Amino acid sequence: MHIYYDSKTGNVDRFINKVIQITGWKATRIQEDTVPTEVGHLVTYTINFGKVPEKTLAFTEKYNHLIHSVSSSGNRNWGRNFAVAADKLAENFDLPVGLKFELSGTLVDINEFIDIIKNQYYDSKRRSEKLDIA
């Protein structure tokens, strides 16, 4: 399993590091020159009360055909804009939303993410209603 991720403040970094510790999955932090080598899942964050980070957007525009789901960190103080980057990427690129979590996520969030990717992804295709549980 491969996870591509973007992090600004370290919240997504911490989330991904916990996922890796539990699962042993591979993860690649998105850089401007990142070229994915295999299919995977995308985890990002939401900025400016509801925007997708530019680096994440550019990566998704180029490589959305290799992305099987998108998840996002956010802050519940933003109300309806909480982790909305996942919703925007899902809508624009026909991707299922895996999970929306607050800041660096709780252990419950991490285990839910692992369960979604591990169990629900394998018996569904992109744009699966089963995967869209966020």
- Domain containing 26 — which CATH number? 3.40.50.360
In this prediction the pTM is 0.86
Task: Judge whether 134 lies within some domain.
Answer: no
Each residue's pLDDT, cut to its tens digit, for the chain (134 residues) gives 899 999 998 989 999 999 999 999 999 999 999 999 899 999 999 988 888 999 999 999 999 999 999 999 988 887 888 889 999 999 999 999 999 988 888 889 999 999 988 876 543 444 444 444 44
Task: Judge whether 86 lies within some domain.
Answer: yes
In the chain, which ranges are E strands? Answer: 2-5, 26-29, 40-45, 67-74, 97-102
Domain that residue 9 falls in = 2-120
Give the number of domains in the chain. 1
Task: Judge whether 48 lies within some domain.
Answer: yes
3-state secondary structure at position 133: coil
Task: Judge whether 126 lies within some domain.
Answer: no
